[in-house]
Amino acid sequence: MDTVVPQFGVVPHAVATMEELGQRVGAWLIDLGNVSVDVAYDYHTDFDLFERALQSAGLWDRLKDVVRPTHIGYLIGQDAVEAAMEMSWASSCVADGIDRHHALADARALRCGFIEMHGGGGDQSKREQ
């Protein structure tokens, strides 16, 4: 309550109903084209929310074969990963006023942690939107 709730509404136009969330995420996934997409999460409830949102929008059946749930909780506790994630959270705080436990800040941090451990590269601009 003390960490998450104060971050609600900080990002303009981000507040949405479950159906609106599903429509936004579904449209983004559909816009990527007919490719499989790894949906990374570190806490299973996050993926459950993702699935429920797409179901609420009536898009789960269309997208369930495109989405590859990818649990990356194993990243947590790795020193280099934790450092990369901390830097990402700090950047999100400066850029957007959001911090750890805000969905967008956490998604960015997990991505940075994953890249720290496994490498990465290429043009990610469309995927980061």
> 3-state SS of 14-46?
CCCCHHHHHHHHHHHHHHCCCCCEEEEECCHHH
Domain assignment of residue 75, yes or no: yes
How do residues 2-38 score in pLDDT, each as one tens digit?
A: 777 777 777 777 788 999 999 999 999 999 998 999 9
Domain assignment of residue 106, yes or no: yes
Domain containing residue 94: 5-121
Q: Where are the alpha helices (DSSP H) in 1-129?
A: 18-31, 44-56, 60-63, 79-96, 103-118, 125-128
How do residues 42-59 score in pLDDT, each as one tens digit?
A: 989 999 999 999 999 999
Q: Whole-angstrom Cα distance, residue 72 to residue 26? A: 22
Domain assignment of residue 127, yes or no: no
Number of folded domains in the chain? 1
Domain assignment of residue 67, yes or no: yes
Domain assignment of residue 93, yes or no: yes
Domain assignment of residue 95, yes or no: yes
CB-based contact 10:96 (threshold 8 Å): yes
Domain assignment of residue 66, yes or no: yes
Region 52-81: mean pLDDT is 94
Q: Which of 76, 78, 79, 98 is nearest to 89 (CA)?
A: 98
pLDDT of residue 14: 77
- Of all residues in the chain, the percent with pLDDT exceeding 70 is 93
Domain assignment of residue 107, yes or no: yes
